């Protein structure tokens, strides 16, 4: 059984994340979406809220599990028995960052392979931080996230 890990902060999950997760789940026997609990990073949603939003977003995909972690990604991958790390790429700068991280990850966990999936064209510009900015200014984000995520963002940002 090939287990893959798709780590990230997912603050919040977007349709771009869901696209990558859906496609990765077709490639591997089991995909574990790891929500990184980053106490030092400015996060809008708590780790529990992010786990719940991601679970709702992928509930229809049977071979996806969602959990949180607060260790190095490679340690999390070892813990769950993953041999593959899945990442989404939107643009060249994403590649440069992922390449740098993959070299460090390979040093720490040589058996871990990186698989990068190119984002769909419709999500190439989409990031959680940009999404939060648009939502905070009252922009329409309904076609960029599931409806329940849009509602949670509006509630969290206080612009019902």
Q: What is the pLDDT of residues 18-73, one digit of tens each?
A: 999 999 999 999 999 999 997 677 899 999 999 999 999 999 999 999 999 999 99
Is 41 marked active-site? yes
Q: What confidence tier does 77 reach under pLDDT thresholds 50, 70, 90?
A: very high
Is 23 marked active-site? no
DSSP 122: G
Is 17 marked active-site? yes
**Options 9, 50, 87, 128, the catalytic residue:** 128
Q: What confidence tier does 159 reach under pLDDT thresholds 50, 70, 90?
A: low
Q: What confidence tier does 96 reach under pLDDT thresholds 50, 70, 90?
A: confident
By three-state DSSP, how is residue 15 classified? helix
**Options 23, 56, 78, 90, the catalytic residue:** 90
Report the pLDDT value the prediction gives residue 124, as an integer from 0 to 100.
Answer: 86
Give the Cα separation of 142 and 133 in Å (integer): 14
Is 127 marked active-site? no
Each as own residue / partner, the long-range contacts of residues 145-148 (CB below 8 Å, 24 or more positions apart, any chain) are 145/12, 145/13, 145/14, 145/15, 146/13, 146/15, 146/18, 146/56, 146/57, 148/53, 148/56
Q: What is the pLDDT of residues 114-149, one digit of tens each?
A: 999 999 889 888 889 899 999 999 899 989 999 999
- Output the pTM of the full model: 0.93
Report the pLDDT value the prediction gives residue 112, as an integer from 0 to 100.
Answer: 96
Domains of the chain with CATH codes: 3-124 (3.40.50.620)
**Options 17, 50, 87, 132, the catalytic residue:** 17
Q: What confidence tier does 160 reach under pLDDT thresholds 50, 70, 90?
A: low
Q: What confidence tier does 110 reach under pLDDT thresholds 50, 70, 90?
A: very high
């Amino acid at each position: 059984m090939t287990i893959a890990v798709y780590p990230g902060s997912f603050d919040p999950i977007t349709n771009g994340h869901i696209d990558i997760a859906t496609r990765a789940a077709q490639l591997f026997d089991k995909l574990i979406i790891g929500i990184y609990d980053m106490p030092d990073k400015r996060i809008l949603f708590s780790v529990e809220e992010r786990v719940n939003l991601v679970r709702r977003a992928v509930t229809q995909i049977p071979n996806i599990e969602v959990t949180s972690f607060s260790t190095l990604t490679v340690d999390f991958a070892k813990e769950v028995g993953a041999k593959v790390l899945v990442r989404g790429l939107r643009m060249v700068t994403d590649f440069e960052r992922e390449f740098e991280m993959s070299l460090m990850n390979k040093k720490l966990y040589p058996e871990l392979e990186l698989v990068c999936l190119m984002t769909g064209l419709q999500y190439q510009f989409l990031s959680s931080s940009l999404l939060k900015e648009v939502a905070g200014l009252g922009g329409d984000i309904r076609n960029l996230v599931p409806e329940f995520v849009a509602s949670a963002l509006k509630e969290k940002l206080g612009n019902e």
